[in-house]
Structure 1
């Protein structure tokens, strides 16, 4: 093993270690043979002084072999103490071997008792000096640069210990830990780095008020959403900032050689942490097979779902990634992000799914093999006010992109739908349901293209959704508006939604509908209260909650399946599938009629017709003919 390069720092450490080794050896001699042996004519002392340079050399060489001089004293750790002990032990054994070679008298002077004393003193002196330097350097770095905030750490396990240690070292950065709370009985009354375990999570509010806590750090990386919600609820009466510590492997950043660690991963608690179920994870490596080397097109690529689709697909090695959307700014932003973060050159395409000629031009030029159709109008109240636009974008646009994809030989086509398409009460939900019917019908007509439908609930954090709206209301000081106290919704994160979409692309064949196991629906009122607590505020005290009444098109409770749809398991434990049902042979005709009504702006008639078609109330052929509503495709 090569010795480390020599520097002034290493030379200084060698000189200090040599002095410490000499002091330990002479002290062990005195402890073994007494002060009377210090006479200059004493043979014992003369023997020790002659052999001392050999001992010092052996120890320094051993320290070099164990790379002790690559360790900066400021970051001395328990692992480094083991290194000191190991190097000292090796040099002691080698030194004793040399003494045996020198003769019988010398080993008698260096008896095992003296060598054990020397071994202990050497380890203590070398370790003590290094630890003392670390304590001094940590203390010298403290400056009153930031006002201190008192922090209570929830969880006295490995993550909590790491957080406490780093905060104590970095107290000048503004956060000073004052103690722990933990529900583990054996940890109660103990101390970690001098900080007491003050109680359990039941005591958080009382302790926080008693000792003036300003920050609460939740250091339980394995905690489920329910546990975090319970902790948040107990903090309701405390105006403290809540932060979440991630997994311990993500918490510690830095070089193992220096031992530097940073609390860069501590973050504010996000609403994703409060899902009423465990987040669903998909093995992305399994999905790479059908996307790697393919030309993948994503519609609505600038939206919340579309942009995340692009990010995840970019990591699966597609031959080409096509970003299609009509909003030039959002398309430009995701294009630049993919170039910057993934080092790929996506193709940005400004196009409207309502323009079939433009789509045909794009498909003939780029020849995509996999298509994810995420472009849609999704805002329920706005679509109630503009049903014609909902039909043009969600119905005509879906039919255009699906027909062009099938005609151009696309291998896989995945349609992104919504739970609002089940027994729809809104124009938006009804148009998405008609889109499902269109995809199901085309899957039977074009067997060369594998179609799939993905249906899921509300997405946390998407633009215009309930959570960002509430967060803005809290930032303004309230009130938070909730339409009805009993209203519930299914929620999922954006990564979950995209993983489901990608998984559906892998499994879909004949227009099946794929659904995520989304757990129990979440009451919107509970969500509002959680968000207020996460902000360190109190519901109904600091932030008011107002009920505004159900808006047009909204349902109190959403559903994921029709009564006639059978939910069957898939190879993915959290994803189920429903076979596509039959569609009316008159679907094409009635869809044409809807599009004509939308183009003519017949708003009153259009809304009623949208809901009838979505619910399967398709008129007979005679009715359509007599009404004169058939249009040329």
Structure 2
């Protein structure tokens, strides 16, 4: 029966279906009037003489009722999508039809008792509406039968919206709600029963559920983190509906399911920014971001735009990256009341004269220097370019800022600059020393540097790498079972960089509170489990995805640090600290930079390496790797056997 109805609905032309509906409704109106009279007179043998008046009444009622249905769009509605709107339309049309019947019978003086129109209205609603709703129910059931089953976690407003969207779509079939609120458990929401979390695994097995969809609305990150902890051993994949902010802004639809956000998985709660610090060096000023198309640089631009600078200079070496961020920022400006002027410029931070011309002509007041090569293995394999960009790109950009009287210059640094074991970290520490030395000179530019660890989702981050490896069926590669890292979201990192720059007095080294460290192997395991898969190991030889340990890469540490010494103090911001570290003066720094610059020009790799070893940056490179024991006040290095 289901298949028969389904074939008719799909294979019959739309015009034919509309004509059939019109004919059915015309007959239904006559039948409704007959049944109303039969109920009123309590007999099916109606001995009524059909006169011209009765015919006129019936004809006018049919004609005007069908006209109302046409005007209200009843025949344009697709039957399998009909729901509350169709019921309302039919009810309204029948009510109008009842009024028309009453009016026409009075006008034509036909034989219709006073109570008949009221009975007619109830009967017509059943005859005209019931078949439509029954057929829709059969078609809906047929469509739902072939869709994979999912469970919605959260029976609030967000869960209701998600269920409604999924019922209308063609991808998934919601079969139940899970909610931790005892008051909701046992109730029915959108036709689905609400169960406690203890029933989840039983429902997954019994109903062959493929996904558990989070619909937690605007709940706190700590709550979301707790829910994810409870769902780690769930045998179905866990995904989430988009945030209400993305849905309301049009960036996403309710049914566009997303992988679990890693910040929810880690449970890190971002600190609310100090908006006065955010705007201090930006609002109504001319701001320049170097490396504007990179992961950190582009997020800095997004956060800067919100503070309404007079002008934002985007300096980027990569043409496509510059095009992409400019296009995005233009759209943001158009969709808001921001009047910031965007100036996209291609160029290298190693060309000081170019930088001077830009800063002078644009009258730049604040510079955020995010242009850097930061991928450890790539910089290890490209020593000259890494040192040129990270060390001399920074020094020439800073010198241009001094010459053009830029007020604030903020360097985006890294935790790998602390006791570096690789070229990337050594080059960033040299960049820090350069700024500290320049800060001691007589000029008006305030230099500062902000040091932090890994950011979630940045280019080269383990999170997108793990997601890609899981989608391909594994293995998921981790360098060492004990390696740990600090993580922060890109927006939070960018906001803290901006706020730290506003606190600068000159030569400051700011360190961001990165929260609790995360064991990378545990992160990989949790991502696998939340994908509805099992980790393949000795205990689970028939698991889905293996975690493969590849060994520490050259220069890679097990533990990253943010502080060189112990002299650290707080600031007015709870997540920003300032470190009191040793530095050198500019003449001494110049004596180190000159031979390093010459070695880079001549591609003398051994000399570059030796210059970094001789610099006061505690650079400890060897073919063997080094481990930093961060639990000891005096940091020690433990050599690992290759």
TM-score (norm 2): 0.70
Is the 1:427–1:610 contact (alpha carbons within 8 Å) kept by the matching residues of 2?
A: no
Q: Is residue 396 from structure 1 mapped to residue 365 from structure 2 by the alignment?
A: no
Report Cα offsets for 1:497-517 as digits up to 9, x if no partner. 334445556x45645666666
* 2:615 match: 609
Q: Residue 57 and residue 149 in structure 1: after superposition, are their counterparts in 2 closer, same or farther (change >3 A)?
A: closer
Q: Residue 135 and residue 370 in structure 1: after superposition, are their counterparts in 2 closer, same or farther (change >3 A)?
A: farther
Partner SS state of residue 459, structure 2: coil
* 1:300 match: 291
Is the 1:360–1:404 contact (alpha carbons within 8 Å) kept by the matching residues of 2?
A: yes
* 2:368 match: 372
Shift of 1:374: 0.5
* 1:530 match: 526
Shift of 1:63: 5.7
* 1:495 match: 491
Shift of 1:306: 2.3
Partner SS state of residue 324, structure 1: strand
Q: 2 CA distance for matches of 1:48 and 1:499?
A: 79
From 105, 108, 114, the counterpart of 1:110: 114
Q: Residue 27 and residue 291 in structure 1: after superposition, are their counterparts in 2 closer, same or farther (change >3 A)?
A: farther
From 38, 47, 50, the counterpart of 2:46: 38
Q: Residue 558 and residue 287 in structure 1: after superposition, are their counterparts in 2 closer, same or farther (change >3 A)?
A: closer
From 477, 480, 487, the counterpart of 1:480: 477
Is the 1:440–1:581 contact (alpha carbons within 8 Å) kept by the matching residues of 2?
A: no
Is the 1:454–1:514 contact (alpha carbons within 8 Å) kept by the matching residues of 2?
A: yes
Q: Is residue 233 from structure 1 mapped to residue 228 from structure 2 by the alignment?
A: no
Q: Residue 517 and residue 604 in structure 1: after superposition, are their counterparts in 2 closer, same or farther (change >3 A)?
A: closer
Q: 2 CA distance for matches of 1:405 and 1:385?
A: 31
Superposed CA RMSD in Å reads: 5.1
* 1:587 match: 585
Shift of 1:123: 3.5
Is the 2:513–2:576 contact (alpha carbons within 8 Å) kept by the matching residues of 1?
A: no
Q: 2 CA distance for matches of 1:12 and 1:411?
A: 77
Partner SS state of residue 459, structure 1: strand
Q: Residue 592 and residue 230 in structure 1: after superposition, are their counterparts in 2 closer, same or farther (change >3 A)?
A: same
* 1:127 match: 129
Is the 1:21–1:122 contact (alpha carbons within 8 Å) kept by the matching residues of 2?
A: yes
Q: 1 CA distance for matches of 2:439 and 2:119?
A: 84
Q: Is residue 349 from structure 1 mapped to residue 346 from structure 2 by the alignment?
A: yes
Report Cα offsets for 1:435-462 as digits up to 9, x if no partner. 4565567668687656554443211222
Q: Is residue 276 from structure 1 mapped to residue 267 from structure 2 by the alignment?
A: yes
Q: Which moved more, 1:317-326 or 1:27-36?
A: 317-326
From 81, 89, 92, the counterpart of 2:87: 81
Shift of 1:383: 5.9
- Structure 2 stretches lacking a partner, 5+ long: 1-14, 335-340, 600-606, 621-642
Q: 1 CA distance for matches of 2:276 and 2:130?
A: 50
* 2:546 match: 543
* 1:258 match: none
How do residues 282-293 of structure 1 correspond to structure 2 at under 5 angstroms? Answer: none
How do residues 106-185 of structure 1 correspond to structure 2 at under 5 angstroms? Answer: 109-111=113-115, 114-132=116-134, 134-135=136-137, 138=140, 149-164=148-163, 166-167=165-166, 170=169, 173=171, 175-185=172-182
Is the 1:387–1:607 contact (alpha carbons within 8 Å) kept by the matching residues of 2?
A: no
Q: 1 CA distance for matches of 2:410 and 2:282?
A: 13
Partner SS state of residue 483, structure 1: coil
Is the 1:389–1:598 contact (alpha carbons within 8 Å) kept by the matching residues of 2?
A: no
From 405, 408, 415, the counterpart of 2:404: 408
Is the 2:496–2:576 contact (alpha carbons within 8 Å) kept by the matching residues of 1?
A: no
From 570, 579, 601, the counterpart of 1:567: 570
* 2:594 match: 596
Q: Residue 19 and residue 548 in structure 1: after superposition, are their counterparts in 2 closer, same or farther (change >3 A)?
A: same
Report Cα offsets for 1:399-446 as digits up to 9, x if no partner. 321231242244553322234456767664565455456556766868
Report Cα offsets for 1:225-251 as digits up to 9, x if no partner. 41353254122xx3x444322246867
Report Cα offsets for 1:282-328 as digits up to 9, x if no partner. 79999799768865533223422224445666788877654434456
Partner SS state of residue 617, structure 2: helix
Report Cα offsets for 1:26-81 as digits up to 9, x if no partner. 43332223226821249xx9987664556556656766786767755443232553
- Structure 1 stretches lacking a partner, 5+ long: 1-6, 255-260, 615-633
Q: Is residue 218 from structure 1 mapped to residue 209 from structure 2 by the alignment?
A: no
Q: Residue 324 and residue 538 in structure 1: after superposition, are their counterparts in 2 closer, same or farther (change >3 A)?
A: same
Shift of 1:553: 5.8
Q: 2 CA distance for matches of 1:518 and 1:181?
A: 34
From 315, 326, 334, the counterpart of 1:324: 315
* 1:630 match: none
Q: 1 CA distance for matches of 2:550 and 2:78?
A: 61
* 1:623 match: none
Q: 2 CA distance for matches of 1:119 and 1:250?
A: 45
TM-score (norm 1): 0.71
Q: Residue 537 and residue 72 in structure 1: after superposition, are their counterparts in 2 closer, same or farther (change >3 A)?
A: closer
Shift of 1:265: 0.8
* 2:602 match: none
How do residues 430-509 of structure 1 correspond to structure 2 at under 5 angstroms? Answer: 431-432=427-428, 435-436=431-432, 439=435, 453-471=449-467, 474=470, 475=472, 477-478=474-475, 480-485=477-482, 487-501=483-497, 507=502
Shift of 1:266: 1.3
Q: 1 CA distance for matches of 2:44 and 2:90?
A: 32
Partner SS state of residue 347, structure 1: strand
Q: Which moved more, 1:16-25 or 1:381-390?
A: 381-390
